[in-house]
Amino acid sequence: MRREWRIIPHDAERVESLARSASLPHVVAQLLVSRGVYDADAAEKFLDTKLMGLRDPKLLPGVIDATAILVRAIDQKKPIVIYGDYDCDGMTGTAILVNGLRLLGADVSYFVPNRLEEGYGLNEDSIRRLAERGKQLIVSVDCGITSVSHAELCKELGVELIITDHHTMGEQLPDAAAVVHPRLPGTSYPFGELCGAGVAFKLAWALCQEKCGGKKVSGPLRRFLMQSLGLAAIGTVADVVPLLDENRILVEHGLRILKEEPVPGLAELIRVTKLDQASRLDTESIGFTIAPRLNAAGRLGQAQLAIELLTIDAGERAKQLAEYIHQLNVTRDSLQRSVYLAANKQAKEEFNPEKDAALVLSGVGWHQGVIGVVAGRLAEKFAKPVLVISLDASGKTEAVGSGRVGGTNINLYDALHECEDRLVRFGGHAAAAGITIKEGDLNLFREDFCEAVSKQWIEKQVVPEIAIDAEATLGQLTLEVVKQVETLAPFGAGNPRPILCCRGVELEEPARRMGSGERHLSVKLKQGAKVVRAVAFGSGDWCDELNAVDGPIEIAYRPVINEFRGFRNVEIHLVDWRAKSVNAEMAVIAS
């Protein structure tokens, strides 16, 4: 489904005023204004990513109680287990707490459920086994906020439970010894968008301060906290939380640490993926290289190996783990491609991707570890919510599914809540969620879910669109201009890399498919005398259609700086294109 192009209104006077008052390049001022930043103070706050901008960790709701419990457990040598999640956010958050508690002399181990056998979150059988092994304190990471019955079980077994999470809360909070959550009811923490690893980092920071008796921490603990910034940055980018406020600071400094002094296992993974050859790392380094490999371990039921990589000392084992996880990603990619092709075919042949409010796709044996990624790709392609459900090949009556919303403002959690009587269970947040459903209820659920989403389309007047910051000719994309654009980094959710557009563009040479499975597109584009290379990741199917166009096209794109063998040049990432011109007022970006 093609999205509408919405040019963000351009207020020339406001841009000029901001450029003067904040002493900013015109291009930066214009992009800030398009993000709702209008005055010098707001611009300084947005652009300033000093570490001192992080709030005192003890302000985070629940941290003081959790810190006191952990300090007591360390002093009493109580066996502690960090109970994490198998996605990138959960694994990095788990590693932060494991590394910190080890450094503080705690008796600590970690546990992460097998995605394929135990599913997400706290698990009754796992809690019982941990209690039988003598664990006296469980600390959840990136899960547990809806685990009311599991908290009761911990009490019955005499096991203390600390919950650290950031997900949507249910009507009742678990009765745990402590609950750490940025949006805890009755509290007023000013930034509620920390991810699981960000919450774990804040708890680890408070713990270090408590053990040191003040805000300043000792040398080894300071080094640990700095390296933990790198882990928190990975979790923050991978979990697609808004890169604003504290998240922006965590990622900015975490990227620097990942380049200069990452934990030993990550250093090996960075070496294996050749990121060590880059002059700097950015959010794309995490999103397209580091996070997919860590997630591959979780998706294929081997998250414990990824956590081991993130908590291990330097040595041969770290090198072996990095190599193995790198290869796991190849396997994950193959499985993902297979499920994507099958689900895409089903969407086109059995449903109507253009008219249906949402798509609920299912297949026998579709690997549970990749259905979330497939749902995300299809949701982006069709610009609507997509649920991908794996039916069990062995005949089990329950199926597992994962959903994404595809950049729309449809609230997936709310839509599922309306259909909860058709589900065994569900969880997640507005943009991503997981479900368990009895196979016999699938058709009725599909009807109810599509109806719930359709209501949101109407009530919210949702229109799939691409928000474009400004028009800029290819000739304006000098290295200096794009460097100025980069001052708004780190880019990601809540602060996307700017999208520009231009018209009258021609193909300098035919587009071609590239990459594994020919999934991506490469093309040289020409406007006047300027020729720029463009790539479109995941859009190889544009190739034939693009080559068949007779005449100039319009493009929506993100400008980037490509670095190769020490040389830096400007190229563009295609977001969308169209052959037909539409009448629209377009703000022109200044060079």
Residue-by-residue DSSP string for 191-226 = -----HHHHHHHHHHHHHHHHHTSSS--HHHHHHHH
How far from 166 is each of 192, 317, 373, CA to CA, in Å? 8, 33, 21
Please report, rounded to a whole number, the percentage of residues in the chain having pLDDT higher than 70. 97
Domain 351-463 in CATH 3.10.310.30? The answer is yes
Q: What is the pTM (predicted TM-score) of this model?
A: 0.89
Instruction: Return the biggest CA–CA distance within the chain.
Output: 76
Tell me the per-residue pLDDT of 146-190, one tens digit each, with 9 for 90 and over.
999 999 999 999 999 999 999 988 889 999 999 999 999 999 999
> For residue 432, what pLDDT is reported?
85
H or E element, residue 560: strand 553-564
Which 3 state secondary structure label does DSSP give 6? strand
CA-nearest of 546, 524, 536 to 474 is: 524
Mean pLDDT of 19-45: 91
Q: What are phi and psi of 576, to 5 degrees?
A: -165, 165
CA-nearest of 215, 224, 202 to 105 is: 224
Helix axes 245-260, 219-238, angle to 10 degrees: 110
Q: Where are the beta strands (DSSP E) in 278-413?
A: 359-364, 386-391, 398-404
Tell me the per-residue pLDDT of 221-230, one tens digit each, with 9 for 90 and over.
999 999 999 9
Residue 430, C-beta contacts closer than 8 angstroms, at least 6 positions apart: 168, 405, 411, 412, 413, 414
DSSP characters over 419-476: TGGG-SEEEE-SSEEEEEEEGGGHHHHHHHHHHHHHHHHHHTT---EEEE-EE--GGG
Mean pLDDT of 489-505: 92
Q: State the number of CA atoms in the 13 A half-sphere of 153 facing the CB.
A: 16
- Best-predicted range by mean pLDDT among 37-41, 76-80, 113-117, 457-461? 76-80
Answer whether residue 586 shows pLDDT above 70. no
> For residue 568, what pLDDT is reported?
86
How far from 151 is each of 113, 157, 461, CA to CA, in Å? 17, 10, 40
The answer to whether the beta carbons of residues 408 and 383 sit under 8 Å apart is: yes
> For residue 126, what pLDDT is reported?
96
Runs of H (alpha helix) within 104-172: 124-132, 148-157
Rounded Cα distance between 86 and 75, Å, is 29
> For residue 573, what pLDDT is reported?
96
Mean pLDDT of 354-383: 93
Question: Is residue 50 very low, low, confident or very high in pLDDT (cuts 50, 70, 90)?
Answer: very high
Rounded Cα distance between 522 and 534, Å, is 6
Tell me the per-residue pLDDT of 64-94, one tens digit each, with 9 for 90 and over.
999 999 999 999 999 999 999 999 999 999 9
> For residue 408, what pLDDT is reported?
84
Supply the mean pLDDT for the chain. Answer: 92
The answer to whether the beta carbons of residues 146 and 179 sit under 8 Å apart is: no
Runs of H (alpha helix) within 460-534: 479-485
Beta-bridged to residue 359, according to DSSP, are 386
Rounded Cα distance between 402 and 487, Å, is 35
The answer to whether the beta carbons of residues 370 and 332 sit under 8 Å apart is: yes
Just give the CATH number of 466-578.
2.40.50.460
- In this structure, what token pair is assigned to residue 435? 């479900």
The residue type of 411 is: N
Rounded Cα distance between 528 and 290, Å, is 38
Rounded Cα distance between 473 and 490, Å, is 24
Q: Sort 168 into a burial class: Cβ within 10 Å, 0-12 / 13-18 / 19+.
A: middle
> For residue 576, what pLDDT is reported?
93
Strand-pair category, 470-471 with 500-507 = parallel
Mean pLDDT of 135-139: 98
Residue 30, C-beta contacts closer than 8 angstroms, at least 6 positions apart: 10, 15, 469, 470, 587, 589, 590
Question: Is residue 585 very low, low, confident or very high in pLDDT (cuts 50, 70, 90)?
Answer: very low
Tell me the per-residue pLDDT of 272-291, one tens digit each, with 9 for 90 and over.
999 999 889 999 999 999 99
Domain 52-327 in CATH 3.20.20.140? The answer is no
Question: Domain residue spans in the chain?
Answer: 52-327, 351-463, 466-578
> For residue 515, what pLDDT is reported?
86
Residue 480, C-beta contacts closer than 8 angstroms, at least 6 positions apart: none
Residue 494, C-beta contacts closer than 8 angstroms, at least 6 positions apart: 193, 241, 242, 243, 244, 247
